[in-house]
Amino acid sequence: MKNWRTLQPYLLVAPQTIVLLLFLVIPILTIVAVSFWEFNGYSMTPGFTLSNYQAIFASKVYLTTYLNTFKFVGLVWFFTILIAYPVAYFLAFHVKTLRWQVILFLVCTIPFLTSNIIRMISWIPFLGREGVINKSLMALHFTDKPVEMFLFSDFAVVLAMVHLYALFMIGPIFNS
């Protein structure tokens, strides 16, 4: 009986440990191993080389890609926290009843009932050349022709990513 009690926690953890090993640890180790193989532009040859890692730090293309990635990460993080913190603060401290907190939080989650692709595509009617924003700017005589920067630009990428990730910041801030 004593042996069963000491073995029981390990048996409970065994299935998820096997799944993690099969679908997380082994693929990551495979990627690390393959990253040291030689690559000649169209095929990989098993062997050990550091040239892949040298190319990452020596190539201007990689450096530009990394800098753009960090730029977008910083911008999306900044604007997401700028939006998420006041929303979470309002839900936590200004909405008094739990019922209304739940209702308003569920309203925040409604966009997640559609796929990410649909949510990204839904920005086109607003940001496009014939979109709501451009039509409004032209109707108010702020511009003579449609503004091109709204769609297919860094602005659109940041806006769509903030829309995509805002709830993932509202939830933890609200709970803390």
Residue 79 and residue 13 in one domain: no
Residue 59 burial (CB < 10 Å; 0-12/13-18/19+)? exposed
Evaluate if residue 31 carries a pLDDT over 80. Answer: yes
Q: What is the pLDDT of residue 105?
A: 87
Evaluate if residue 18 carries a pLDDT over 80. Answer: yes
Tens-digit pLDDT profile for residues 68-119:
999 999 999 999 999 999 999 999 999 989 999 999 988 888 888 888 889 8
Cα–Cα dist 163/121, whole Å: 12
Q: What is the pLDDT of residue 25?
A: 97
The SS3 assignment for 38 reads: strand
- In sequence order, what are the residues at sequence separation of 6 or more whose Cβ sits closer than 8 angstroms to the Cβ of residue 8? none
Q: What is the pLDDT of residue 60?
A: 93
Q: Which of 57, 76, 91 is the last residue of a domain?
A: 57
Residue 50 and residue 64 in one domain: no
Cα–Cα dist 133/150, whole Å: 9
Residue 75 and residue 128 in one domain: yes
Evaluate if residue 63 carries a pLDDT over 60. Answer: yes
Mean pLDDT, the chain, whole residue set? 91
Residue 89 and residue 125 in one domain: yes
Residue 109 and residue 173 in one domain: yes
What percentage of the chain carries pLDDT values higher than 70? Answer: 99
User: How confident is residue 155, by pLDDT bands cut at 50, 70 and 90?
Assistant: very high
Sign, CA torsion 52/57/60/62: positive
Evaluate if residue 1 carries a pLDDT over 60. Answer: no
State which H helix or E strand residue 151 sits in: none
Lowest-confidence segment of 21-25, 60-64, 73-77, 120-124 by average pLDDT: 120-124
- Read off the pLDDT of each residue in 151-172 and give the average, rounded to a whole number: 91
Residue 51 and residue 74 in one domain: no
pTM, full prediction = 0.75
- Read off the pLDDT of each residue in 122-128 and give the average, rounded to a whole number: 89
Tell me which residue range forms the domain holding 143.
Answer: 59-176
Evaluate if residue 2 carries a pLDDT over 80. Answer: no
Residue 50 and residue 67 in one domain: no
- Read off the pLDDT of each residue in 30-42 and give the average, rounded to a whole number: 91
**Per the structure, how many domains does the chain have?**
2
